[in-house]
Amino acid sequence: MSNDNAYTIKWGIISTGSIASQFVSDLLHASNGVAHAVGSRSQESADAFAQNHGIPHAYATYEELVNDPAVDAVYIGTPHPFHKDNALLALRAGKAVLCEKPFTVNSAELEELISYAREQKLFLMEAMWSRFLPVHAKIREWVAEGRIGEVRLVKGDLGFRADWNPSSRLLDPKLGGGGLLDVGIYPISLASMIFGPHPERIQSTVHIGETGVDEHFSLLLSYGDGKAASINGGVRLKMLEQAYIFGTEGYIVIPDTLVNPRSVELYINDQKVETFKDDRVSHGYAFEAEEVGRCLAEGLTESPTLPLEESLAIIKLLDDIRAQWGLKYPGE
Q: Is 325 exposed, middle or buried (0-12, 13-18, 19+ CB in 10 A)?
A: middle
Q: 221: number of CA atoms within 13 Å, CB side?
A: 29
DSSP string, 207-222: EE-TTSSEEEEEEEEE
Active site residues: 101
Pick from 76, 7, 94, 1: nearest CA to 38: 76
What is the rounded (10 degree) CA torsion for 306, 290, 157, 84? -60
Where are the alpha helices (H) located in the chain, listed in sequence order? 18-27, 43-53, 62-66, 83-92, 107-120, 134-144, 179, 185-195, 286-297, 308-325
Q: What angle do CA 132, 106, 195 make, to 5 degrees?
A: 45
